[in-house]
Chains A and B, each alone.
Chain A
């Protein structure tokens, strides 16, 4: 694959004389994720709309820490895959069964119950589709149940007249998160014919701001998450595609974006959040932006320009004593910040002793999982046996 070189392991001058980093409590973080996969308290009911994302963060944490093999029993693997496929309908995935109206009487909700009246309320969700495809890759699923034509149809239907992508066809809520998810699906399928790529690229371009980052929507303020989504999306466009020239930054743009991203890192001795990345100018550091900004820099081939040791020290401080990683020191952990912190550490590699798998910054998975997803999602379905 044509992934630009992430500035991964090089250790810069002056780093050796610094304090060694605390240990990464991998076992604790894995335990946190396993607990979340087992169940969430009622207070987290808002997660009902993003259970597939929780599954993706937790399974990917196991993957990047090399614990997937050891922690996932064959029975778990089988029933988890089944659960994910239960959320499959009309070409894409739901976050969970919370809107599945076919109930347990139909063997497979994905086939839809008879007599269900069409409503956009039951359409699959583009972000959850990305999360499900990646979670299935971690579980090494063969995607035999995937209807590629329907998936392409669903992604294409999510694109609006403006070039952006909506969470669900016709939802009217486009932002760069879904552009990224749509591009990953195309990259996995190895097929870009289902979307209007020139229009999608112009949408991304319109999200650029005077600061050098990207806003969530064309008028928005520069923000770490959408900046990652924009850059990853642009670099997912294959080099041999006719649109590739429009999908790479101009020299001046590259400089402005690298500058903005690097300025998001808080000085090491800052009273709060030193070494961590903020998501916006003049905001406090938050562990997840270590990934969004760090991965964005890696994609631009500038990953070795950030201070990996200082970021590692910040992430280490965000570790919760009973496992899991929180957005800032002293806060409560969650799967989102746990995974993204570990993914950030996998990219910047602040300490070889942390022992993490490398990460494909474009797909947001280990290279092996990304390869699996590409090989198996793109593969033509086997001939139906009759």
Chain B
């Protein structure tokens, strides 16, 4: 972080840059949203324009673009020109990745820094350490969209069995920290049912869905009011074309008003009950059961309507109009059928 800790010398004052003609930024008399740049930024970008004009691609361009990127990590042209320079001068890319690690941690929400990583990894073709680095970045922000997208890109792009192998334990670590982390749930779906299932796990689709249903139901039992887990359950069923009714016995346990305290029934591992102290009834369970009843057609409709009404008027009033729409829609469809 040389530019942060030592005195910054303007490029205009560096003798080794005296051969470059800086180009000041051109603005008309009344520009839109002009930025009152710092002298350092103005100086560096003046020299950057000078370099771009002559097309110079050399070692010192790396220094200049690093200065700019540190001042403005969203400067997409500086990133682009930097990458072109790295390739043209055949610079070693390993040190560039080390530098990019620091820049990534400093600006994890900038598109450009992640894109630069992609370019480097594509060229370096050594994806294994990338997953560990990625997990490190997630420690600072476990829901950063860019970090997750990048991880999915690494897995899909390189598609190696060793990469896939650690993904389920990895997701489990994150869900143990925060069972409501939707990014982790999404990633689990991706690993279990989408690209991941074609990769290293080598298991059959039936095996995957059995494992995932057990997993998500266990997590729902732990924390029933968790939209991520319910969406995952729906997604898994839709993906494997299993009717929702296959889960009715489980979901029914969450529609009741309170946890059954004197439950002396045999513990059913397929259908884990809500944990003690869980907030019931669970909205997502009511919604799920309404869908189960709706799918039964004429016989189920009145039961479904009753559940939607309870959502509209008592449990989920913010979506009142939606639940009323579901009633109208279902009634119209069953009377036509």
Residues in chain A within 8 A of chain B (CB atoms): 12, 14, 36-37, 39-42, 44-52, 54-55, 58, 75-76, 79-80, 82-84, 86, 96-104, 109, 113, 115-122, 125, 167-168, 171-173, 209-211, 215-217, 219-223, 258-260, 262-263, 265-268, 275, 280-283, 302, 304-307, 310
* Contact A210–B227 (Cβ < 8 Å): no
Cβ-closest chain A residue relative to B38: A42
> Residues of B contacting A120 with CB < 8 Å?
80, 84
> Residues of A contacting B152 with CB < 8 Å?
219-220
Count residues of B near A (Cβ-Cβ below 8 Å). 77
* Contact B145–A223 (Cβ < 8 Å): yes
* Contact A50–B321 (Cβ < 8 Å): no
* Contact B322–A305 (Cβ < 8 Å): yes
| CB of B274 within 8 Å of the partner chain | no
* Contact B33–A49 (Cβ < 8 Å): no
* Contact B148–A221 (Cβ < 8 Å): yes
Cβ-closest chain A residue relative to B56: A117
CB distance from A334 to the nearest CB of B (A): 12
Give complex CA distance A171, B80 in Å: 8
Of B35, B118, B145, B186, which is within 8 A of A47 by CB? B35
In B239-297, the 8 Å CB interface with A consists of 239
Q: Can you list 7 A-B contacts with CB-CB less than 8 angstroms, sorted by A residue number?
A: A47-B35, A48-B74, A49-B72, A86-B28, A103-B49, A209-B189, A210-B238
> Residues of B contacting A109 with CB < 8 Å?
26
Cβ-closest chain B residue relative to A120: B80
| CB of B99 within 8 Å of the partner chain | no
What 10 additional pairs, Cβ within 8 angstroms, besides A40-B35, A46-B73? Answer: A48-B72, A54-B33, A75-B30, A79-B30, A103-B49, A117-B54, A119-B84, A171-B115, A223-B145, A305-B319
Give complex CA distance A82, B181 in Å: 47
> Residues of A contacting B145 with CB < 8 Å?
216, 220-221, 223
Cβ-closest chain B residue relative to A10: B321
* Contact A46–B31 (Cβ < 8 Å): no
Of A58, A82, A118, A210, which is within 8 A of B235 by CB? A210
* Contact B72–A45 (Cβ < 8 Å): yes
* Contact A307–B32 (Cβ < 8 Å): no
CB distance from B169 to the nearest CB of A (A): 20
Give complex CA distance A109, B78 in Å: 19
* Contact A307–B321 (Cβ < 8 Å): yes
| CB of B119 within 8 Å of the partner chain | yes
| CB of B334 within 8 Å of the partner chain | no
* Contact B111–A282 (Cβ < 8 Å): no
> Residues of A contacting B234 with CB < 8 Å?
210
* Contact B52–A275 (Cβ < 8 Å): no
> Residues of A contacting B58 with CB < 8 Å?
none
| A103-B54 in contact given A167-B76, A219-B152 (Cβ < 8 Å) | no
Of A47, A98, A119, A223, which is within 8 A of B55 by CB? A119
> Residues of A contacting B198 with CB < 8 Å?
none
| CB of B306 within 8 Å of the partner chain | no
CB distance from B88 to the nearest CB of A (A): 10
In B20-75, the 8 Å CB interface with A consists of 23-38, 41, 45, 49-50, 52-55, 71-75
Give complex CA distance A199, B318 in Å: 39
| A265-B33 in contact given A117-B55, A282-B227, A283-B143 (Cβ < 8 Å) | no
Q: Which of B35, B71, B180, B189 has the most CB of A within 10 A?
A: B35
| A40-B33 in contact given A172-B118, A267-B316 (Cβ < 8 Å) | yes
CB distance from A234 to the nearest CB of B (A): 21
Of B45, B54, B239, which is within 8 A of A210 by CB? B239
Give complex CA distance A50, B234 in Å: 39
* Contact B55–A39 (Cβ < 8 Å): no
| A103-B115 in contact given A54-B33, A275-B318 (Cβ < 8 Å) | no
* Contact B26–A121 (Cβ < 8 Å): no
* Contact A101–B52 (Cβ < 8 Å): yes
> Residues of B contacting A47 with CB < 8 Å?
33, 35, 74
CB distance from B215 to the nearest CB of A (A): 15
Of A40, A84, A210, A280, which is within 8 A of B36 by CB? A40
* Contact A282–B36 (Cβ < 8 Å): no
* Contact A219–B35 (Cβ < 8 Å): no
* Contact B318–A268 (Cβ < 8 Å): yes
* Contact A211–B49 (Cβ < 8 Å): no
Cβ-closest chain B residue relative to A307: B318
* Contact A12–B186 (Cβ < 8 Å): no
> Residues of B contacting A260 with CB < 8 Å?
231
CB distance from A203 to the nearest CB of B (A): 15
7 shortest interchain CB distances as A-B pairs: A117-B55, A210-B235, A79-B30, A221-B186, A219-B152, A121-B81, A101-B53
CB distance from A117 to the nearest CB of B (A): 3
| A39-B34 in contact given A45-B71, A98-B75, A221-B148 (Cβ < 8 Å) | yes
| CB of B201 within 8 Å of the partner chain | no
CB distance from B163 to the nearest CB of A (A): 14
* Contact B31–A219 (Cβ < 8 Å): no
CB distance from A218 to the nearest CB of B (A): 9
